[in-house]
Structure 1
């Protein structure tokens, strides 16, 4: 069984507080040392992180992850935290998990226990109720709900508990959960999200009066918001999201004047939101995905501490200007995030937008807002996220709208009728991280020469309008979520392109032959996609990869003088297995990377014409056939990776001619035979050749030639192998038995060649072979042997 310990952090109470250093003669307590060794026995440590935990080392205070008190030697902390798990990952069907060790309940001085984000299974052991000094208990992991609780009363013995996090723990069979929590007077934080809770008693819970934070989101509560919560007079954080509440807002909710964060999204609440305007301390308000009526309440204008408000999917049915006008006084000065996505807003966006000086995020996606975008947008100097997609905006966006948006990292404006118009010399004052689909308006930038959209969250297909950007020299769409096929128009329209990077997307289908028209291409990176079929033979058309470039032959990436003077083009490339940034030497790089696709067929012969290619990666495809015999002609190659294919045959001897080769990986194919015996190839490790049927250095298995048993029997004491001697003599006797009569007997010669003449009528080839010689009188042995 296996345990992945993601986070364990234990603090044990100390007896004295001292600033003195621990004496070297003081080690950890023997009882705690034995407890730690027992704890290790219950774990499987695949990363070998507990290698220092051994009985041979007496002082456990020097063990990995252990922190002791400097004076007493008591263990204070046990920190085995590793990298966080993928929150969306689910356990494999055959994956086994360990139960929470029961002996943890013997650590009665424990104050802090965090077992969240682990892979424990089984019932939570009631022995944890012995941790009478515990103040913090965290066992939450709502992505891996594996910890059911059948009897919850052990928790009532933790009278000092202040922080309880059981997110994702299955409490569906614990009908007494609320009564137990009621017995814990010191609780300040309760997190019970996604616990499959479904019942909440109607009577008020008195001990909730000291609670500062309550999270009951993601459960199965339904009906009205329970009145049992009305004593949350000290509560600052209340999350009831993603339940089945379907009533109007209870009046007692408006009296929670200390409330700073209220999350009610994903319910079926109805009626007016007006009373929420009395929550004068509120900073974050999420009312999304409900059935509220009456539009934006005017009372919201009194929420002078409001930092963020989310009304996603609520049917406001009012003009955007009216909604913004409600916030135009004190709220506009402090609010940082407004999300009105799909909120049924309409009308023009007016100058009021410029009042929100501290706004960092604005989303108006999927409404019916119309007209031009006001120039006052440019006054929002704190803006980081701006999403305006799928409205009815029109007009032009220019540098006036963006010159002051120095912090902008996200911009979405697709699904409108906007035109982007910027002077050629304009340099954006921000660097975007783009999400959503790439706007069709990108095609209006007809003078665009370099487009770098790498590592964003773009989805969908590459817009057809991009083919209007015929002056592109560099196109980098790598590390996004683009789908569809690699368009043929890339090869037809981008005749100047030198760098084409579509790496790490979801492109699929055949690779179009039109790409072979890109004769200026020097970097082609299509790795990590779903492309299939044969690699086009016309790959040899990449003429820039065929000729040597002199150092003084400065390849102009951008023809505009301003750009040439202002910056040097750069690109992120994977070379020799590592990602690196290339800038000043980029113009000298020649690289093809088609790895991690589904290409089949053989390696195209034309690739060996690319004599200046420096890196060729075709790994992890389904390529068959042999490694090209004349691969040694690619004299500039520094890196070859053909691993993870189905290549067969021998490694060609010519590969020894690649004197610049520093990376070679031919592993996991069907190659056979002897590895060429050159000094160059012997510098590579055995891992470059494993997973084949190869032999010879650097592999440990030597190549051996088996000698026939018959020859062994006929070998005499002097070491003469009479098998081979007799075979040679037999050939000589047989040869002259046939040739001798022809050579010395004129009659036999004539009869033999007359026979060949008769065959001539049937085969039509003998006359050409003898080339007009007189076969009876002018016969030459040399001719006959031909």
Structure 2
């Protein structure tokens, strides 16, 4: 039996060798005998080359007869046939890279009948779709067309490639796949990657893929798959890698995912999965990596996590998991997971409790993230056992106490972040004893005291330091001079009250971001050197924050690569350097606000082609606004308020301005016509501007949210076009010479309508964010919009709370007519000021509809009639002024209005009565009589004065009559006797009435009329 088998094997081998010999002879006859290159295949490759666009000459070697030596071409050593074509872009930089191949794929490729490997990835082909002739390459085992800008429908002909093992069509976002049936016939397929290929219409996606029993890797991340079946029968018995990230299934996690017994990598990130993480997760005995971040999972974490013996990476971040974090560490450290777990990310959840000492049992940990939770208590001392730890992120929790010195034993630690906790105590040299690998150090937002000796040498690899709000000063830290590669240095609010030493210039060339703001650093600004950036970061612009210190002296220039410079709130004086724009052309954010700078605005600012934010406010700058600012096409926010600027406002063209502040200057003339279509804030108040308010403001500036023109010399009527500004929530036209009526069309200002929640959540502009960094602790610089407003009878400045202010101020004009009832529909109003006009009529009865109103001023008008009872419904009202009108009747009683007991609110309205003014009268039960309503003291006081007046009147009349008779002797004696008699009776009567009043007794008083003053 064995002999016959051997003979059969020898016979088969002979047949195979004879077949190969015949094939080789045929190929040799068809070739030019140049390195085995077959002529027909060479010609096919040349036709293929002619249809391509090759700007970088990647196919320069495609000439001559030896095609097997051409770039990207490989031939069989036996047959000489082309078996491999690899034209992948070697730089892998995407479709905009100059090395990409373009053009179309020529069908001559079908002549490469022995081709089993085709890679055209990372290019930019412009054909309408993946050519269907690729389905004719029957020997293909590897096909990679990823990131090559293919579009249109994926041809079903690809289903003919029965030998295909590897298919990658990923990152072709314009492909159209409405049916994955072609995949089900690829019986040999081991890897399928359709990442970022839209599968919105492919409803049968799982049924088709479920036919691939040999499939090992499946990548469907970012495919916009709308639905995942919850209860299918799965045949993917060989599947080891499953990537379904970024599909937003918005369902619970299907339990069948945890029944795939061979799964090793499970990626379910960003799918809006809800509910709990099932206990069946513990069944994945071979799983090494689980990614479930950025979902909506909740509940407690299952204790079965500790059963995952092969687990190396577990990422559950950015969910809503709750429960005690100590239970998580106990289950992990008690099970077999502790022997291999290297990466644990539980950040951005709702975990509470404390970190237990069991943490020290996870000795293989290299990355530990517990940031953005509710974890309290101490950092355990056992953390010093994690000798393999490279990353420790505990920021944004409630950790308290001091940082354990054992952390200094972690010699491999590169990233340490304990920012935004409740930590306190001293950070000493012991904490850095063996941290020789430390690169990132963040302790921002704690009450730590950074206390090291003058000879301390910090970890030499440190490149990023964040010590904001820690106590570092009062001296400027001398240990910084040892860090020649420092790139990020944040020591804002660090209690430094020193000067910046000269050696700082030596380390300045490596610093990309410096934040020394909110200290008390004195004397001159620091000197900076040009940065020594590596070639891959040549477009990085540096950021320097020196605001809110005590720097003095002239403004010195900084290196040309600085993109953000904030030196506001200091004591700088002198002129802005005339060449600032020429020597710092890369500035995108410049704030010199609140200094003592003078002189004029240099026109070289117009050379800053990247400038987005320019803040020169609160200085002593004079002269005119440069007209060349219209050339800065990126300019988004300009603030030149509170200076001594004069002249006309220049026409600034079609800038993309979002905020313009020129208030509190000496500008004259009219508002120039401008095409600021994106403008949201316009503040020209406190100038000497004239003319009518332009109607084009309402017609063109549809994004306007704040319009402040108060304290100018505008005249004419309020243009009704302002009513078209549906996003307007602050309107201030006070103290001008405006006439006409208050427009009733203000009811169209829909941004002023809403309840407290909708107003607070309003998506309105309040800042221009410019410098966006990747790390969460880098300072995101903003120009925060601001406004001075007369609210509650005093001037208030609004910045970060500006979005909550909804206000109309038309005071100090010559407006006439009645208050439109439509104003009471603006339910979001917090301030309404119509004082100092000539308004007549009644206060609208529906004024109580302004439920959020905090300040109401209608004083100094000619309003008449009663005060509406609905005014008592304004529960937030804290300032009210109705003085100097013609209001009458009783002041409404009850509710919140009673707390406003200042009589000056109502002064100048002779017809008003009731608290806090004098009392009103009431009918007595017996009819016809009236009493003064008020306190016993009020009644006693008034009645006492009445009787005193009655006595004086009687005496005056009596003396007048008797004086005629005085000169008769017979009457003189009788007169004195009579006067004495009545005088004694009057004193006795007053004494009696006084005793009655003091005893608390009341009595009626008759008057001739119903009113009495």
TM class, shorter-chain normalised? 0.5 to 0.7
Q: 1:185 to 1:435 in 2, by over 3 A?
A: farther
Q: 261, 267, 277: which is aligned to 2:289?
A: 261
**Alpha-carbon distance between aligned partners in 1 of 2:607 and 2:69, rounded to the nearest angstrom:** 45
1:81 aligns with 2:89: yes
1:87–1:385 CA distance, 2 compared to 1 (3 A)? farther
Cα deviations across residues 186-235 of structure 1 (Å, max 9, x unaligned)?
A: 11011111111122223343322211110111112232211332431011
Q: Alignment partner for residue 596 of structure 1, among 586, 600, 603?
A: 586
Answer yes or no: is 1:505 the counterpart of 2:505: no
1:64 is aligned to 71
CA distance in 1, matches of 2:304, 2:587: 58
Tell me whether 1:341 sits opposite 2:371 in the alignment.
yes
Maintained 8 Å contact 1:505/1:529: yes
In 2: Cα distance, 1:442 partner to 1:206 partner: 61
Number of the residue aligned with 1:48:
57
Give the match's secondary structure for 1:147: strand
In structure 2, C-alpha distance between the alignment counterparts of 1:455 and 1:183, rounded to whole Å:
56
Q: 1:138 to 1:269 in 2, by over 3 A?
A: same
Q: Residues 365 and 389 of structure 1 are in contact (CA less than 8 Å); yes or no, is this contact kept in structure 2?
A: yes
Q: CA deviation at 1:384?
A: 1.4
For the 8 Å contact 2:212–2:236, the answer to whether it is kept is: no
**Superimposed CA distance per residue, residues 325-381 of structure 1 (whole angstroms, 9 cap, x where no aligned partner):** 23333x2x2122111001211112232221222211111000111111111011112
Q: Which runs of 5+ in 2 are unaligned?
A: 1-19, 25-30, 98-123, 533-539, 568-573, 591-603, 611-630, 633-1013
SS of residue matched to 1:208:
coil
Q: State the alpha-carbon separation in 1 of the partners of residues 491 and 132 from structure 2.
A: 54
Q: Is the 8 A contact 2:196 2:222 kept in 1?
A: yes
Q: Distance in 1 between matches of 2:224 and 2:428?
A: 52
Q: How does 1:186-585 map to 2 (within 5 A)?
A: 186-273=214-301, 274-296=303-325, 297=327, 298-301=330-333, 302=335, 303-304=337-338, 305-320=340-355, 322=356, 325-329=357-361, 331=362, 333-434=363-464, 441=471, 443-448=473-478, 458=488, 468-475=498-505, 482=513, 492-494=523-525, 497=527, 499=529, 504-506=541-543, 525-527=559-561, 529=563
User: For residue 173 of structure 2, what is the aligned residue in structure 1?
Assistant: 145
Q: Distance in 1 between matches of 2:373 and 2:263?
A: 29
Corresponding position of 2:147: 117
The offset of 1:154, in angstroms, is: 1.6
Q: Offset at 1:172?
A: 0.9
Are the counterparts in 1 of residues 489 and 514 from structure 2 also a CA contact under 8 Å? yes
Contact 2:498/2:522, CA 8 A, preserved across alignment = no
C-alpha contact 1:509 1:530 (8 A) present in aligned 2: no
2:554–2:575 contact (8 Å) kept in structure 1:
no
Instruction: Quote the offset at 1:262 in angstroms.
Output: 1.4
Cα deviation, residue 505, structure 1: 2.4
In the alignment, the residues of structure 2 paired with residue 618 and residue 64 of structure 1 have an alpha-carbon distance, to the nearest angstrom, of 52
Superposed displacement of residue 59, structure 1: 2.3
d(CA) in 2 for partners of 1:593 and 1:538?
13
The 1-side partners of 2:471 and 2:586 are apart by 32
Residues 100-137 of structure 1 show CA distances to partners (whole Å, capped at 9, x for unaligned) of 34433333322222222332222223333233222112
> Quick check: 200-209 or 233-242, which moved more?
200-209
Paired residue secondary structure (1:154): helix
| Aligned equivalent of 2:37, options 15, 22, 28 | 28
Q: CA offsets, 1:697-729, max 9 Å, x none?
A: xxxxxxxxxxxxxxxxxxxxxxxxxxxxxxxxx
- 1:489–1:423 distance in 2 versus 1, CA, 3 Å: closer
Deviations 1:41-92 (A, max 9, x none): 45333323223335xx232223233333445433334133232337999xxx
Could you tell me how far 1:261 is from its partner in structure 2? 1.3
Mapped partners of 2:578, 2:166: distance in 1? 66
> Match for residue 126 of structure 1?
156
TM value normalised by structure 1: 0.58
Whether the 8 Å CA contact 1:189–1:212 is kept in 2: the answer is yes
How far, CA to CA, are the matches of 2:232 and 2:609 in structure 1?
67
* d(CA) in 2 for partners of 1:86, 1:328: 44
Post-superposition Cα deviations, 1:601-639, rounded to whole Å, max 9, x if no partner, equal xxxxxxxxxxxxxxxx9997569xxxxxxxxxxxxxxxx
Using the TM superposition, give the Cα deviation of residue 515 of structure 1 relative to its aligned residue in structure 2, in angstroms. Answer: 9.3
Greater relative CO (CA pairs within 8 A, separation 6+):
1
Displacement of 1:268 after TM fit?
A: 2.1
Q: Contact 1:367–1:391 at 8 Å: present in 2 too?
A: yes
Aligned counterparts of 2:588 and 2:446: Cα–Cα separation in 1 = 37
* Paired residues of 1:167 and 1:192 also in contact (CA < 8 A): yes
Structure 1: gaps (5+ residues): 1-14, 90-94, 543-591, 601-616, 624-644, 647-786
Contact 1:443 1:469 in 2 (8 A): no
CA spacing shift, 1:193–1:498, aligned 2, 3 Å? closer
Equivalent runs, 1:627-642 vs 2, <5 Å: none
Q: CA offsets, 1:750-780, max 9 Å, x none? A: xxxxxxxxxxxxxxxxxxxxxxxxxxxxxxx
**Does residue 159 in structure 1 map to residue 159 in structure 2?**
no
**CA–CA distance in 1 between the matches of 2:504 and 2:514?**
20
**8 Å CA contact 1:596, 1:619 repeated in 2:** no
From 152, 162, 183, give the equivalent of 2:211: 183
Q: Is the 8 A contact 1:120 1:146 kept in 2?
A: yes
Larger Rg: 2
Contact 1:105 / 1:130 at 8 angstroms: preserved in 2? yes
Seen in structure 2, the aligned counterparts of structure 1 residues 483 and 399 have a Cα distance that, compared at 3 Å, is closer
Q: Are the equivalent residues in 1 in contact too, given 2:274–2:295 (CA < 8 A)?
A: yes
Q: CA RMSD in A?
A: 4.5
Q: For 2:430, what is the secondary structure of its paired residue?
A: helix
Match of 1:100 in 2: 130
Tell me: CA distance 1:172–1:500, structure 2 relative to 1, closer, same or farther (3 Å): closer
**Matches of 1:447 and 1:598 in 2, distance apart?**
30
Relative to structure 1, is the Cα distance of residues 398 and 167 closer, same or farther in structure 2, using a 3 angstrom cutoff?
same
